[in-house]
Amino acid sequence: MEISNLLAKECVICTNISSKKKVLELISRTAAIKTSDVTAQQFFEALINRERMGSTGIGNGIAIPHGKLDNLKAPIAVLIKCDHAIEFDAMDNKPVDILFALFVPTEDCQAHLSTLSQVAQLFGDKSITKKLRRAQDNEQLYQVINP
C-alpha cells in the first residue's frame, strides 16, 4: 500500500510533546479518530506491547511504532514531528523527533511488513527527513509525504 494513500491529513501532527509515553498517547488518540472499532486505549496498548519487545526507534531520530489489532478493519497511519527530540531507546541511542506509526488488522500481516519496509526506505532518504524536520506546521508536514 502506498504511504501517501495510507496517511490521512488529520493524522499528521507537529507537536511540542517531550516524552515517549505522551507521544505514544497522542498517536493513539489520533488513530482512534479514524475508526470506531478500536479505542485510543487499545491503540496505546498495542504500541506499548510492541515497544516492550524492543524499541521501534530505527536511528537517525526516526521511530516507526506499530501494532496489529484484531478489531481494526483497515490500516491507519499517523505521522508526528516533535519540535524537540525525545528519548526513545532507539537503536543508535539518539533521541527521536520523527515518528511514523502504523496500525494494521491482525490478519493483514504481509501488507504490514511491506508497508513498514516502504516507511523505513522513505525515511532512509535524507532529503525527505530534512524536509520533514523543516516543516513548520501540519500542512507542510503532510505536503512532504503527499506532495
Catalytic residue annotation = 66
User: Residue 86: what are its φ and ψ, rounded to 5°?
Assistant: -120, 150
> How big is the CA angle at 56 (ends 61 and 141), to the nearest 5 degrees?
50
